[in-house]
Structure 1
Amino acid sequence: MSLNIHYKEDFQNRHIAPNEADTAEMLQTVGVNSIDELIEQTVPTAIRLKQPLNLPAAKSETEYLGALKQTSLLNKVFKSFIGQGYYDTITPGVILRNVFENPGWYTQYTPYQAEIAQGRLQALLNFQTMVIDLTGMEIANASLLDEGTAAAEAMFMQYSTRKSQAAKKFFVSELVFAQTIDILKTRANPYGIELVIGSHLDFVATEDFFGAIVQYPAGNGEVFDYKDFAAELHNQNIKLTVAADILSLTLLTPPGEWGADIVLGTTQRFGIPMGFGGPHAAFFATKDEYKRSIPGRIIGVTIDSHGDYALRMALQTREQHIRRDKATSNICTAQALLAIMAGFYAAYHGPKGLKAIAERTHGLAVSLASTLKNLGYEQLNSAYFDTIRFDLGDLKGGIHSGCLDNEINLNYVGNVATISIDETTTFEDIRLIARIFAKVKAVAADQVEVIEDVETVIPSALQRTSAYLKHPVFNSHHSEHEMLRYIKSLEAKDLSLCHSMIALGSCTMKLNATAEMIPVTWSHFGRIHPFAPADQVLGYYSIFNELDKWLSEITGFAAMSLQPNAGAQGEYAGLMVIRAYHHDRGDFHRNVALIPASAHGTNPASAAMADMKIVVVKSLENGNIDVEDLKAKAELYKENLSCLMVTYPSTHGVFEESIIEICETIHANGGQVYMDGANMNAQVGLTSPANIGADVCHLNLHKTFCIPHGGGGPGMGPIGVAKHLVPYLPGHAVVDIDKGKSISAVSSAPWGSASILIISHAYIAMMGADGLTNATKYAILNANYMKARLEQHYPVLYSGAQGRCAHEMILDCRSFKAFGIEVTDIAKRLMDYGFHAPTVSFPVAGTLMVEPTESEPKHELDRFCEALIAIKEEISEVENGTLDKVDNPLKNAPHTVAVITANEWEHAYSRQTAAFPLPYVLERKFWPSVGRVNDSHGDRSLICACPPVESYLEEIVP
């Protein structure tokens, strides 16, 4: 027997689930002889790539992790005192291991199916409660992308709710963080909002202002008393936004107590690694009167079908999928996983623990300031929390080099240095900094006495007196055992990819491989400040450069911007790049966006944010774009045409044959083609956006490129652009990444949520060109196999020219309404079979959009098909009268363990039918933790914070 000594494990065989035997069976069911034959019937020949992808040879998991470890060591983990919105922190081990590194939490989907998402909904409700308490406001959302984009959302919310349409000015304190001001510029520009940047001490309120924003503490560390400023604004009907440091609010008077209308910031300090910029969960709190204008998701309390306490996403009619360009919220703007971690951090430490951390942070800052004062340095801040400030003059060079020699980073603006203390700072760190400052003045180290007996420098008028985090959830889990059990109790209520496939159309819930996830928590990636000097982050730069090159090869584009930190953010960035291109050519009038009726709801919402006029292009009965209507409208608006927004394959799951003609039509009329990359999983290695004719495309790295959804974020949405658009890619106010004519920033950090880019880098490196192409082929095979199995039970709404779907399909459930069954009933009944529903009523009301991905094995596809087929049989029994139209398993779904084990059972169908409808369910039953959730009840009496335990009955039960 000969032995293969060169064997190495092929990662694609771990990622792509169907084996050789399964593939043969599936091909037979589909009716083709090979996968290539299926691809020929599915992907139009005219758009197929002529050459395979030019990517490095695939690495095994061991090879990749070994190489990446060496790359990570190119990053220098200096002790960071830079601050400016980013701080080193300690992630409690119980949260690191059981949430951040746990697929039971990070592979969950956005909680649209509330009955199997009660755990993360409760964790997010905890987060909202924490934010409300610490800010002193009345309502909070369940997180936004980062502090800068939260500030932009606040500005737009104030703009859209202003009393006078003539008010077009927005005051920005010059002491707001530079990256936030940069994003405000980006968002203000399309709407003609005039930013007035200056000192709040000199500001004169006039009626042409609609809003203002200040930083608390200010960007230079000073803690100002803004009470009189807020009153002056309100006298002129001007709303005040406060960007606040959440840890400081345990010691400082919360903005809600001195006049803020909106309070926002980042919860990064609550146990989330810096990660060279993210991901981190922003918070956003406001007054109850603005609850229908607040951006993002809100988790609210309601009841289920049995009258018991339940949670769900509230006020969903604000979402862009429903209101499209009229949306007040671009809902794809959350960081659920990080918000959950921050909420758990607050619960683990409790109010006393958080205050102790804040007091120690403040105390070390006072200690260092006092020590340096004794050395002859003048501290410039009169009141501060964690940041002290010195004009170093001609001593700057010596101090700068001394700090670098000791692996310390301070923040420098000219000759002024700020030093920001954080949770990880030790007394020894203070001693070391003092010795560096002393050495420059020729003071011996043994003569430096660090001041230990310190008092607060926060004025009494600004010291917090109100209580916070009084709810039992923040006062019950301070030992690790208690915290571990609490986390696990919530995790057990949620269905994730750990349990079964999540066949969500347009969402691509594929494998998030452990090898891809492991490096994210390495210290040489996690403990890097986004504004660290360039020579300290060569490991990150290496990853960015390779990822840029690889994604450019995959898309066919000239370059990428890795900055947008969500898919919707990528859409917005892409449109702003197109806008800048037109403006640079003097075509300021080009502001019309053609958008097919079938488009993702985020498309018109993003176009509206870019101040484009939206013209809808009709769809044909077969779901395809009406090319004649598109040509007519392109001709009609050719003088003002900015772009077409198109998804490919289409939102209907079809490779439209006319796509090249469509793109050529837009170009012939002076427009650009923006391609929504939501369905890129059906393109990689077979075709590409550039090959089709697009000029810009965003990529959902949390879909095609394996970043997990995290229960509703993090996401990443980098954009690729053709050569003529490269100069306009987003820049940044702090780190120089300007491309020549760059638009201002769209995210707070230069490379967005940089640490999770490693996941996509790992996926591409381990799959290689063949693996990526095979993944696409198998995504198409799996979808067509399910189509072949299901289409005799459920009409498949749209197909390609040869009867094939792309990587997803739409099942038409509208005919069941004739005998009382809604598509929602099918979605809830699937929970009894152990599955999360496919995408419900999008893009067509009354349908299910199914996407299996390449990571699901045949037996899992079969389980899901058998569940849907069994549900169809139940529907038939309702139709023929065997099952009652009201009292049937679909209408009563989902069935909880409490219902199944109750002493009384009054239904005409059996308990076994309800809970164990197919034999496989008995083997590994997942129990929904609540009955069907009552959305309207919760919206009528909105509760978006944890109710007191003693009030559950009186507040929740009608």
Structure 2
Amino acid sequence: MNTNAFALRHIGPREDDQKLMLKTIGVESLDQLIYETIPDDIRLKNGLNLDEPMTEYEYLLHIHELSKLNKAYKTYIGLGYHPNILPAVIQRNILENPGWYTAYTPYQAEISQGRLEALLNYQTMVMDLTGMEIANASLLDESTAAAEAMSLLFSVRTREQKKQNINKFFVSENILPQTLSLLQTRSTPIDIELVVGNEETFNFSSDFFGAILQYPGKDGQVTDIKTFISKANEAQIKVAVAADILSLVKLEAPGQFGADVVVGTTQRFGIPMGYGGPHAAYFATRETYKRDIPGRIIGVTKDTNGNRALRMALQTREQHIKRDKATSNICTAQVLLAVMASMYAVFHGPKGLKFIANKVHNTTSALAEALKTLGYNQVNNVFFDTLQIKTDSKKIKKLAKEKKVNLYYPNKETVTISINETTSVRDLNYLISIFAEAAEKETIAISTVSEGNNISETLKRTSEFLTLDVFNKYHSETELMRYIKLLERKDLALNHSMISLGSCTMKLNAASEMLPLSIFKWANIHPFVPKKQALGYLTVLKELEDQLTEITGFAATSLQPNSGAQGEYAGLMVIKAYHESLNQNHRNICLIPSSAHGTNPATAVMAGMKVIVTKSTAEGNIDVEDLREKAILHKDNLSCLMVTYPSTHGVYESAIKEITKIIHDNGGQVYMDGANMNAQVGLTNPGNIGADVCHLNLHKTFAIPHGGGGPGVGPICVAKQLVPFLPGNPVKKVGGEKAITAISAAPYGSALACLISYGYIKMLGAEGLTESTKIAILNANYIKQRLQGSFNTLYSGERGRAAHEMIIDCRPFKANGIEVTDIAKRLIDYGFHAPTVSFPVAGTLMIEPTESESKAEIDRFCDAMISIKKEIDQVSKDDENNVLKNAPHTLEMVTANEWYFPYSREDAAFPLDYVRDNKFWPSVRRVDDAYGDRNLICSCAPIEAYAEA
């Protein structure tokens, strides 16, 4: 046995364990199990054509060598991405800490209080700096946040402005180029007409429902948004502002001027550039729009004892409820990055942020004075950190390149320079020397930087920010380290126990996959640097594209979509462009099975399609005859089918090839949701079943950690006919020959996170990837067998097998007064995160163990579930005071002087012996969701505000 093989570390069950598990299931071999699980006609005949696997040591040497191909020049490009300083205490204790990066989305609030508090801090920070009334817990990037702002203002126009037929949206010509591209992508399918122009000459016509401004503008000029917003408000035109968050320390908050939405990125708050991502975007708006806000909101509520508790509020992101009525398909956040940005604000506090913003502005002002003295025409009269120089850019570009400095050159007559937190006096003098040499003059030496004053009085910040206690007490490393640890202890992550979430694949995120994220030459590359400076990245990203193309059986891949929902949207937009290229613009019908994930119908509507729902059979499969009938009925206008495979019910539907043929025969394309790709890799693939495009969740199948609810990466892989339409970028050429406009801000989306999946595939190789899929299926079927007799599995394949996940039915327990939520909360007492609750079927649990969990851990989980079933059997419908209804049990509750319950403290806290060895104590009792919705508080408000609510 090769004990250095990464597959041995990644895959949980040992060889002897596998034999015992197979015996329990009742099969002779793993191959027999796979034969009984996957329909033979979709099985791959040949294995994957991938490189031989590397050991972890070989891979780390390899990735270090590749990093040397990236050139970390001094970079002043700006355009929404800036070098910054990530405090080491945050890097070590959050970014590199599995207690933070392996946690899941905080649906189980009682075991998520730590990251919920960090996100509440984030929302408070955003609300304070923007001057808005409510903020969400982050979005994907600034450009998609701006597109969401446009969509929000468009959706509320009828309700507030009675402007049913008004569809014009004004876009300032100073908007970031990647944001303009995103606005173009999102506006066309829903019939919004973009009008790009100069905000100073805009006529505030009643033809417009909204506008968006950049603050400061892409070229660095800070325009008078105060006057613009005032005039817009008079004309009943809603205004969104895309604002640089660090500039808001110096510039007055747009909310103070009456803005309706403020968006941006928090990348400047300690998040590595990472060749474009992942970064946490912010989105803030008026409380009036709290039910329209995209993404997640963290709110304050109380628990059973009346103590303060946090939760995801309102569930505005639940497309499962809104489906095709949803105005956004965003079902995630950038939690890990938002947590890091919030801790940056906590660590520096208001005084620290003022110091950083002043340093940036003062350095920029000193540079402006020096360039003016050298004879250069610097045209920005009001600026924060960016200068616009009118000169022969070709000469400057040649010199800067020789001096290993990156500036931005929007045209032949212009150079822009964006100063950042890392810019020292030495860097400043080096910049000045380049311009002096270009002007053939003696350079100007600056020894100290004095206070700059290049912000107009009417735009200077006067409002306070970050006044709450949390931003003013953790400024030493000791204190912040302890605060981070305090929050971490409140959360259950994969470093404690298995998280068996159906459809969310919580597998090992190996340390060797994660380590490269902290390597300087991976972390600190701007997405718009010349290609020769990013050869390491381009090598990795091209190989990852090729790997994913091979795994999916398609022709090409785009890594640009930076979440699964964005991948869905990209897939449909590529299909739409393909039909348009054939002069079939009328094809707008999207068939979606009733069992589909809620983002599917939301995405289809965003892509300008009409959703037709197809039926499911009693067995949970697609009703083929109903699908055929609807495909034929709509054949003249059929655009596509959206299908998940294996199905959301955890079954390999044997009719899948017939289904895809029906769609093709009627002129449509097939989009396959890749949420369940962990059941396909190496055994079958989307190309083989007849799909035309699929998105992949790299944060599921390909080992990018969930990070408490993000980052995610959702690339699309496409068949040959769709390759020309893969998404492009306005600054860097990527995508197909007939590329659609951008799907995310950066050319390669969240490129830094893609290193993780690259390492995962490189170290597992073809054999390890295939074995991982087989063991995921083994683990799921082992759980199914072990729970038999206690829980019924709702759906199975034709030979009685589950795929990589299965649904257990908890609805019969209502006869005992027990709901599925009670089981989920009781699992916390056993040390486990609950499986997926009530999706895709209400009153059920969907369980997916993944290949990384050992037999011992799976047995502990099964023992817990069987023990809970025995507890259910002992309670009656009339008995509300029982161990399930009172779950979870906190340490405070169990150690209190008084005990009012008809069961023992031991039964409450230590229901099985193994729990004693690794007890997890939730920090709050069961949270009150309804109270939190009735009394919405979305900032870390003082206790008085909570008491008033």
Q: TM-score range by the shorter chain?
A: over 0.9
Deviation at 1:176, TM superposition (A): 0.4
Between the aligned partners of 1:259 and 1:906, the Cα distance in structure 2 is 53
Counterpart position of 1:373: 372
Aligned partner letter, 1:707? I
Counterpart position of 1:204: 203
Change (3 A) 1:449 1:363: closer
Deviation at 1:331, TM superposition (A): 4.0
What SS does structure 1 have at the residue aligned with 2:937? coil
Counterpart position of 1:24: 19
Deviation at 1:451, TM superposition (A): 7.4
2:68 equivalent among 56, 66, 73: 73
Counterpart position of 2:459: 462
1:442 equivalent among 430, 440, 443: 440
Deviation at 1:226, TM superposition (A): 1.4
Between the aligned partners of 1:115 and 1:542, the Cα distance in structure 2 is 43
- 2:238 is aligned with 1:244: no
Aligned partner letter, 1:944? C
Between the aligned partners of 2:553 and 2:58, the Cα distance in structure 1 is 28
Aligned partner letter, 1:493? K
Deviation string, structure 1 residues 653-673 (Cα, Å, up to 9, x no partner): 000000000000000000000
Between the aligned partners of 2:405 and 2:241, the Cα distance in structure 1 is 30
Between the aligned partners of 2:545 and 2:446, the Cα distance in structure 1 is 50
Deviation at 1:454, TM superposition (A): 4.1
Between the aligned partners of 2:523 and 2:123, the Cα distance in structure 1 is 25
Q: Is 318-327 or 523-532 further displaced after alignment?
A: 318-327
Counterpart position of 1:111: 106
Deviation at 1:455, TM superposition (A): 2.8
CA contact (8 A) 1:134 1:254 kept: yes
Counterpart position of 1:424: 422
Counterpart position of 2:603: 606
Change (3 A) 1:453 1:899: closer
Deviation string, structure 1 residues 358-386 (Cα, Å, up to 9, x no partner): 00000000001101111111111001000
- 2:770 is aligned with 1:773: yes
What SS does structure 2 have at the residue aligned with 1:32? coil
Aligned partner letter, 1:896? T
Deviation at 1:599, TM superposition (A): 0.6
Between the aligned partners of 2:420 and 2:487, the Cα distance in structure 1 is 30
Describe how 1:133-212 pairs up with structure 2 within 5 A.
133-162=128-157, 163=161, 164-212=163-211
Between the aligned partners of 2:515 and 2:418, the Cα distance in structure 1 is 30
Between the aligned partners of 1:726 and 1:451, the Cα distance in structure 2 is 54
- 2:926 is aligned with 1:928: no
Between the aligned partners of 1:83 and 1:486, the Cα distance in structure 2 is 33
Deviation at 1:470, TM superposition (A): 0.4
Between the aligned partners of 2:92 and 2:471, the Cα distance in structure 1 is 20
Deviation at 1:448, TM superposition (A): 4.5
Counterpart position of 1:853: 850
Deviation at 1:819, TM superposition (A): 2.4
What SS does structure 2 have at the residue aligned with 1:878? coil
Deviation string, structure 1 residues 410-440 (Cα, Å, up to 9, x no partner): 0001120000000000111110011111112
Aligned partner letter, 1:901? T
Describe how 1:705-720 pairs up with structure 2 within 5 A.
705-720=702-717
Between the aligned partners of 1:630 and 1:575, the Cα distance in structure 2 is 19
Deviation string, structure 1 residues 180-234 (Cα, Å, up to 9, x no partner): 0000000001011100001001111122211100000111101111122112211
Deviation at 1:804, TM superposition (A): 0.1
Describe how 1:341-380 pairs up with structure 2 within 5 A.
341-380=340-379
What SS does structure 2 have at the residue aligned with 1:161? helix
Aligned partner letter, 1:312? R
What SS does structure 1 have at the residue aligned with 2:210? strand
Counterpart position of 1:313: 312
Q: Normalised by the size of structure 2, how large is the TM-score?
A: 0.98
Aligned partner letter, 2:828? M
- 2:217 is aligned with 1:218: yes
CA contact (8 A) 2:209 2:236 kept: yes
- 2:506 is aligned with 1:516: no
Counterpart position of 1:403: 400
Counterpart position of 1:43: 38
Counterpart position of 1:810: 807
CA contact (8 A) 2:267 2:280 kept: yes
Change (3 A) 1:901 1:690: same
Counterpart position of 2:838: 841
Deviation at 1:650, TM superposition (A): 0.3
What SS does structure 2 have at the residue aligned with 1:855? coil
Between the aligned partners of 1:946 and 1:561, the Cα distance in structure 2 is 39
What SS does structure 1 have at the residue aligned with 2:874? helix
1:898 equivalent among 883, 892, 898: 892
What SS does structure 1 have at the residue aligned with 2:360? helix
What SS does structure 1 have at the residue aligned with 2:783? helix
Describe how 1:513-552 pairs up with structure 2 within 5 A.
513-552=510-549
Counterpart position of 1:62: 57
Aligned partner letter, 2:416? T
CA contact (8 A) 2:889 2:909 kept: yes
Counterpart position of 1:941: 935
Describe how 1:248-647 pairs up with structure 2 within 5 A.
248-316=247-315, 318-393=317-392, 396-414=393-411, 415-445=413-443, 448=445, 452-647=449-644
Between the aligned partners of 2:785 and 2:179, the Cα distance in structure 1 is 51
- 2:800 is aligned with 1:800: no
Deviation string, structure 1 residues 472-491 (Cα, Å, up to 9, x no partner): 00001000000000000000
Unaligned segments of structure 2, at least 5 residues: none
- 2:879 is aligned with 1:885: yes
Aligned partner letter, 1:436? I
1:94 equivalent among 89, 94, 114: 89
Deviation string, structure 1 residues 212-271 (Cα, Å, up to 9, x no partner): 000001111011111221122112211000000000111111100112110000000000
What SS does structure 2 have at the residue aligned with 1:594? strand
- Sequence identity (%): 61
Aligned partner letter, 2:779? N
Between the aligned partners of 2:718 and 2:944, the Cα distance in structure 1 is 56
Deviation at 1:442, TM superposition (A): 2.1
Deviation string, structure 1 residues 704-731 (Cα, Å, up to 9, x no partner): 0000000000000000000000000101
What SS does structure 1 have at the residue aligned with 2:857? helix
Between the aligned partners of 1:123 and 1:451, the Cα distance in structure 2 is 37
CA contact (8 A) 1:319 1:331 kept: no
Aligned partner letter, 1:147? E
What SS does structure 1 have at the residue aligned with 2:377? coil
Deviation string, structure 1 residues 103-133 (Cα, Å, up to 9, x no partner): 0000000000000000000000000000000
What SS does structure 1 have at the residue aligned with 2:642? strand
Deviation string, structure 1 residues 21-79 (Cα, Å, up to 9, x no partner): 10010000000011000000000000000100000000001111101111111000001
Counterpart position of 1:760: 757
Deviation string, structure 1 residues 751-781 (Cα, Å, up to 9, x no partner): 0000010000000000000000000000000
What SS does structure 1 have at the residue aligned with 2:671? strand
Between the aligned partners of 1:571 and 1:481, the Cα distance in structure 2 is 44
Q: May I ask how many residue pairs the two structures share in their alignment?
A: 944
What SS does structure 2 have at the residue aligned with 1:316? coil
Deviation string, structure 1 residues 395-417 (Cα, Å, up to 9, x no partner): x3332122112211000011200
CA contact (8 A) 1:371 1:451 kept: no
CA contact (8 A) 1:261 1:287 kept: yes
Between the aligned partners of 1:664 and 1:35, the Cα distance in structure 2 is 31
- 2:234 is aligned with 1:235: yes
What SS does structure 2 have at the residue aligned with 1:413? strand
Between the aligned partners of 1:454 and 1:897, the Cα distance in structure 2 is 53
Aligned partner letter, 1:641? L
Between the aligned partners of 2:882 and 2:323, the Cα distance in structure 1 is 35
Between the aligned partners of 1:411 and 1:317, the Cα distance in structure 2 is 39
Aligned partner letter, 1:136? G
CA contact (8 A) 1:686 1:773 kept: yes
What SS does structure 1 have at the residue aligned with 2:601? helix
Between the aligned partners of 1:358 and 1:316, the Cα distance in structure 2 is 35
Between the aligned partners of 1:317 and 1:255, the Cα distance in structure 2 is 24
